[in-house]
């Protein structure tokens, strides 16, 4: 039986993408098109939290790509120490493909984990995670490129649509999902609002919009449409969006 959830409060999630311990942004999710914004992730966390953010969206890109991620794990620990000072929360994903990996980051103090590849490759892990920790701790990361769902660091086609998977896991108790249009990510091409709204309506999930936000008007539209939140990356880092203004 499908579970009924209350409508969540809209939240803004500044993105902190980690690679080799640095804060970076990728164009279209391509590891060969990378810009380094900071070599001090904790300073970036402090910067967004000082401006009023209550959530940070932290992604371990090395983990997502299947590479050694010890530097990113150290950076996550530093970020969590900063968020504890502000009473803020971290949503974390990238390379979490076992129940032990999920448990480890939740024990560190992460408030919500983003699962991507395992929702396609190992659904039993998702089911177990939902049973063990509950719907508030688990997010499905649904990343699409020209309508095709991608996994393994956005490198492999999943063979399912985002809506198919969203409906499946909704019936198993999933509440949260992030929908990212990879073709727009990191280049401020404008949010795929139509696709994000459709996913939310068809699945009944609380959907957080990501990928391509270019200005404050994009954020306003996302909020007005009843979506659960917005993850903002490139537009915050280059100043196109003022975090203080969109948090108001």
Q: Residue 179's domain is classified under what CATH number?
A: 3.20.20.70
Q: What stretches of 51-178 show up as alpha helix (H) in DSSP?
A: 61-64, 70-86, 99-108, 117-121, 123-133, 162-170
Specify if 207 maps to a domain: yes
CA distances to 69, 75, 95, 211, 231 from 40, rounded to whole Å, are: 16, 8, 21, 23, 20
Which one from 62, 69, 143, 218 is the annotated catalytic residue?
143
Report the C-alpha gap between 141 and 136 in whole angstroms: 14
Q: Which domain, by its residues, includes 17?
A: 11-247
- Give the angle 50-51-56 at the CA atoms, nearest 5°: 80
Per-10-residue mean pLDDT of the chain, 248 residues long, equals: 65 97 85 91 98 98 92 98 98 95 98 93 94 97 78 64 90 95 61 91 95 92 95 94 94
Specify if 5 maps to a domain: no
Q: Which one, of 31, 50, 17, lies nearest residue 155 by Cα?
A: 31
Specify if 134 maps to a domain: yes
DSSP annotation string for 79-116: HHHHHHHHT-EEEEESS--SHHHHHHHHHHT-SEEEE-
Specify if 1 maps to a domain: no
Stated pTM of the model: 0.92
The three-state secondary structure class of 16 is strand
Specify if 6 maps to a domain: no
Report the C-alpha gap between 199 and 195 in whole angstroms: 6
Report the C-alpha gap between 80 and 114 in whole angstroms: 16
Specify if 196 maps to a domain: yes
Active site residue 185: no
Specify if 4 maps to a domain: no
Tokens 């902190």 belong to residue? 16
Number of CB atoms found within 10 A of residue 8's CB: 14
pLDDT for res 4: 54
Number of domains in the chain: 1
Residues 6+ apart with CB under 8 A from 160: 120, 149
Report the C-alpha gap between 77 and 35 in whole angstroms: 23
pLDDT for res 1: 44
Which one from 17, 62, 69, 181 is the annotated catalytic residue?
17
Active site residue 143: yes
Specify if 21 maps to a domain: yes
């Amino acid at each position: 039986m499908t579970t009924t959830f209350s409508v969540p409060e809209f939240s803004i999630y500044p993105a902190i993408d980690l690679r080799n311990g640095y804060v970076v942004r990728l164009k279209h999710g391509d590891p060969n098109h990378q810009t380094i914004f900071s070599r001090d992730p904790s300073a970036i966390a402090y910067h967004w939290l000082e401006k009023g953010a209550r959530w940070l969206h932290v992604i371990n890109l090395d983990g997502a790509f299947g590479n050694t991620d010890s530097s990113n794990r150290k950076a996550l620990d530093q970020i969590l120490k900063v968020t504890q000072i502000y009473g803020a929360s971290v949503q974390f994903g990238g390379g979490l493909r076992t129940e032990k990996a999920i448990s480890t980051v939740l024990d560190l103090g992460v408030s919500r984990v983003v699962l991507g590849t395992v929702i396609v490759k190992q659904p039993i892990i998702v089911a177990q995670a939902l049973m063990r920790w509950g719907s508030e701790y688990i997010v499905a990361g649904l990343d699409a490129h020209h309508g095709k769902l991608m996994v393994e660091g956005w490198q492999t086609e999943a063979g399912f649509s985002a809506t198919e998977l969203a409906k499946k896991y909704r019936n198993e108790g999933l509440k949260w999902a992030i929908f990212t249009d990879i073709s727009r990510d990191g280049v401020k091409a404008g949010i795929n609002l139509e696709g994000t709204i459709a996913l939310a309506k068809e699945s009944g999930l609380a959907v957080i919009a990501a990928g391509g936000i270019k200005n404050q008007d994009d954020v306003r539209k996302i909020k007005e449409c009843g979506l659960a939140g917005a993850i903002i990356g490139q537009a915050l880092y280059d100043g196109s969006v003022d975090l203080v203004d969109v948090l108001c």
